[in-house]
Amino acid sequence: MNLIEKESICKQCGKPIHGRLDKRFCDAYCRNAFNNKVKRKDEQYIMAVNRAIRKNRKILKTLSPVGKSTIRREVLDALGYDFNIFSSMYRTPKGNIYYMCYEYGFNPIIDTRGIEKAVIINHQDYMGAWQPWKYVHK
């Protein structure tokens, strides 16, 4: 066996490939199948995040269709709200953080009795752009 015809294995089906050294697949079918699989995995993550943001938004909209509402965290938990997922953030001048899911968002608060609650709001025009470097600890 010379170097040019060194045997390698197809990345898709695992069968030995004969031919050029840089060949990674036995044929176009295997190449396409492999590339689609990689793309699907990428897309699956994006789609899962998108689904979670949409679900969160729907929950916030249902609980507070207009204006401002304060509800217990347990209500969000019971409805399956995913606190890890949001589309943007808003920080009030006082430093309260709103986790937005599109145009709905909430600010986590703890009341005087120690109960965790969420202040739900709608996006307002005065909410400026998030400034990631403004709050970096120096």
Q: Is 105 exposed, middle or buried (0-12, 13-18, 19+ CB in 10 A)?
A: buried
Nearest CA among 74, 66, 123, 69 for reference residue 99: 123
Nearest CA among 83, 84, 138, 68 for reference residue 116: 83
12 binds Zn ion (CB under 5 A): yes
Least distance (Å) between residue 12 CB and Zn ion: 5
13 binds Zn ion (CB under 5 A): yes
Least distance (Å) between residue 15 CB and Zn ion: 5
- Find the binding residues for Zn ion in span 27-56 (CB under 5 A): 30
85 binds Zn ion (CB under 5 A): no
26 binds Zn ion (CB under 5 A): yes
101 binds Zn ion (CB under 5 A): no
d(CA 138, CA 78): 39
97 binds Zn ion (CB under 5 A): no
